[in-house]
């Protein structure tokens, strides 16, 4: 499946809202990614990821070569980045050589978490991240600080 611009998307699921047309409180990232990268200016908005416990979606990005990067909420405010193959059902794989996850907020390279034999990266909602694969930026996770606004019936709101 592609997003119309030739960008590969595998099982990229939107955040499900409990009420239509209502904002809800969440801490989330905007995803920007693509497979054929010439410069960072080519990054396109893809979707957003929620760290809320109600988020049951696993966001998947096909990096090619039988490698899928997955991001899933573990428990708020934490999520993990891990890798699988493209099989159905997918098999977990070791972090591929050439993957680097950088915390761009603090300018730090994230270490691999070693709580599982194949490894993963632990990410937190309040930082932004850049993921490179073979020295090319493939995914940017940009922290967005927001509040949801809910109004009583009959009230009007506007931006000034």
Is 9 part of a structural domain of the chain? no
CA dist 27 and 145 (Å) reads 7
Closest to 51 measured CA to CA, from 3, 133, 123, 121: 123
**pTM exceeds 0.75:** no
What are 100-139's pLDDT values in tens digits? 999 999 999 999 997 778 999 999 988 999 999 999 999 9
Is 40 part of a structural domain of the chain? yes
Residue 146's pLDDT band, with cuts at 50, 70 and 90, is: low
CA dist 95 and 117 (Å) reads 10
Model pLDDT, residue 8: 34
Is 10 part of a structural domain of the chain? no
Provide the domain count of the chain. 1
Is 137 part of a structural domain of the chain? yes
Is 111 part of a structural domain of the chain? yes
Range of the domain at 83: 28-144
CA dist 85 and 148 (Å) reads 37
CA dist 155 and 94 (Å) reads 53
Model pLDDT, residue 46: 81
What are 7-62's pLDDT values in tens digits? 333 333 333 333 333 333 344 455 554 433 333 567 888 888 888 888 888 999 99
Is 152 part of a structural domain of the chain? no
Is 50 part of a structural domain of the chain? yes
For residues 140 and 52, which has the higher predicted lDDT (pLDDT)? 140
């Amino acid at each position: 499946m592609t997003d119309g611009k030739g960008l590969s998307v595998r099982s990229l699921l939107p955040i499900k809202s409990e009420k239509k047309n209502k904002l809800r409180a969440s801490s989330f990232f905007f995803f920007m990614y693509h497979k054929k990268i010439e410069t960072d200016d080519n990054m396109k908005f893809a979707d957003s990821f929620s760290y809320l416990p109600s988020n049951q979606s696993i966001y998947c990005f096909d990096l090619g070569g039988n490698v899928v990067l997955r991001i899933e909420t573990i428990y708020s405010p934490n999520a993990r980045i891990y890798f699988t193959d493209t099989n159905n059902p997918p098999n977990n794989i070791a972090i591929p050589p050439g993957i680097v996850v950088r915390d761009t907020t603090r300018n730090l390279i994230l270490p691999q978490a070693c709580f599982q034999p194949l490894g993963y990266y632990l990410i937190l909602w309040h930082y932004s991240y850049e993921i490179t694969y073979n020295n090319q930026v493939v995914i940017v996770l940009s922290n967005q600080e927001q509040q949801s606004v809910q109004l009583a019936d009959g009230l009007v709101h506007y931006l000034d």
